[in-house]
Amino acid sequence: MRSFDEILALAATHHGSPEAVLEKAANSHAVADPTTVSDDRYLATMTRCVFNAGFNWRVIEAKWDGFEAAFLGFNPHKVAFMSDEDLDRLVSDERIVRHGAKIRSTIENARFIVTEAEQHGSFGAFLAGWPAGDQAGLLAYLGKHGARLGGATGQYALRFSGHDAWIASGDVSAALVREGVLDQPKATSKSTLKAVGEAINTLAEQSGRPRAVISRVLALSVG
């Protein structure tokens, strides 16, 4: 695998200059301290990412105020205690996208957040305590204990909540095929996600740059 500087230079051939690449690669969602994000915002972000999957994101965006109201400001403790009757009501609530399985996932993810908060003090503290270089392990944990947080949804939920997360997009995977890390431009299995994480960790150690930025630079190096 090439060094970070070499990959950045390759990206610059497509986007003008290393400075232009780094500007495009900047992570506007970054949060220095995950514990400063309240648990309700973690639940809101999970919900937005779950509903965005398979839907036009503009539809979700247009209804977002309705989501906030229907799910009680995404207060995890309140949502966690929603009953089957609440679920039936929400399935008929025109303020939100009426997808029963995804609505249920919000309730299940509220319970997940409450459980982790009880153990760690907050969901942000749980994230802060997870080893920074083990995103593949964190994704596996989210997939096992959360609802509909597997695959790309979990990666986007981490990124958009402020976590320094890489995303194994098609372009990132294609770049890692080029670099000899992956055999095909698709990273969905535990082994391929681990390989992505290890490659990005190596580039992070070389460059001192956030993993989210490295992920974007890899994507930009494709074209």
Do 126 and 153 share a domain, yes or no? yes
Q: What is the reported pLDDT for 129?
A: 97
Q: What is the reported pLDDT for 63?
A: 97
Q: What is the reported pLDDT for 121?
A: 98
Residues in the chain: 223
Do 137 and 189 share a domain, yes or no? no
**Domain containing residue 183:** 4-27+166-220
The CA angle 126-128-131, to the nearest 5 degrees, is 100
User: Which pairs from 194-203 meet CB under 8 Å and 24+ separation?
Assistant: 194/136, 196/136, 196/166, 196/168, 196/172, 197/133, 197/134, 197/135, 197/136, 197/166, 199/1, 200/166, 201/133, 202/1, 203/1, 203/3, 203/4, 203/7
Q: What is the reported pLDDT for 91?
A: 97
Kindly give the parts of the chain with pLDDT less than 50: none
**Rounded to two decimals, what is the model's pTM?**
0.96
* Domain termination site, one of 160, 182, 207: 160
Count of structural domains within the chain: 2
Q: What is the reported pLDDT for 213?
A: 98
CB 198 within 8 Å of CB 18: no
Select from 150, 146, 147 the least CA-distant residue to 190: 150
Do 60 and 140 share a domain, yes or no? yes
Do 13 and 41 share a domain, yes or no? no
Do 195 and 118 share a domain, yes or no? no
Q: What is the reported pLDDT for 209?
A: 98
In CATH, what number is assigned to the domain containing residue 139?
1.10.340.30
Do 45 and 152 share a domain, yes or no? yes
Do 60 and 152 share a domain, yes or no? yes
Q: What is the reported pLDDT for 215?
A: 98
For 191-215, letters b (16+ CB in 10 Å) and e give ebbbbbbebbbbbbeebebbbbbbb
Do 63 and 126 share a domain, yes or no? yes
Do 23 and 38 share a domain, yes or no? no
Do 176 and 91 share a domain, yes or no? no
Do 74 and 9 share a domain, yes or no? no
